[in-house]
Amino acid sequence: MKKYFLVITLAITSVCISLAQSVIGKWKLDDGTAIVEVYQEGDNFNGRIVWLEEPNDPDGTPAKDNNNPDEKLRTRQLIGLNMLSGLKHKGGNEYGNGSIYDPGNGKTYNCSMKVEGNTLKVRGSLDKRGILGRTMDWFRVK
């Protein structure tokens, strides 16, 4: 009986830890300029911009993807824009093999993420192995 109680306790603890380490939710960028909502779609984890510190362009209209290299996409609004796409759960609190779009410069990078409590370590890199890049800390919004 004690053996089964231990197994059940460990299973419940494991589920609670994985829920606490979930990547799903809203995250504020380290510079405070935006909030990104990470969501799951099938096996992929994606993220869309849901809040901007400066939601409007200088002309007063909603901020647009002005730096996109594709001229046809420069009219799309930043709020609602998917900037994270295709991340896969790699086990534990790690996600990888996805991409991150930086609307500030119009470039797309390889992306991996790691949840550490209420901090999401987001790594954007030029190479798939993540060697040439930088890591940003995003903070969970409650």
Distance CA 117, CA 59 (A): 40
**Structural contact between residues 36 and 136, judged by C-beta atoms closer than 8 angstroms:** no
Residue 27: strand pairing partners? 36, 140
pLDDT value at residue 2: 57
pLDDT value at residue 1: 58
pLDDT value at residue 130: 76
Single pTM value for the model: 0.83
CATH number of 23-141: 2.40.128.520
Domain layout of the chain by residue ranges:
23-141
pLDDT value at residue 6: 36
**Helix boundaries (H) for the chain:** 2-20
Tokens 């589920």 label which residue? 15
Within the chain, how many helices (H) and strands (E) appear?
Answer: 1, 8
Split the chain (142 residues) into runs of 10 and give each run's mean pLDDT. Answer: 45 40 94 97 98 96 97 97 97 97 97 97 90 95 91
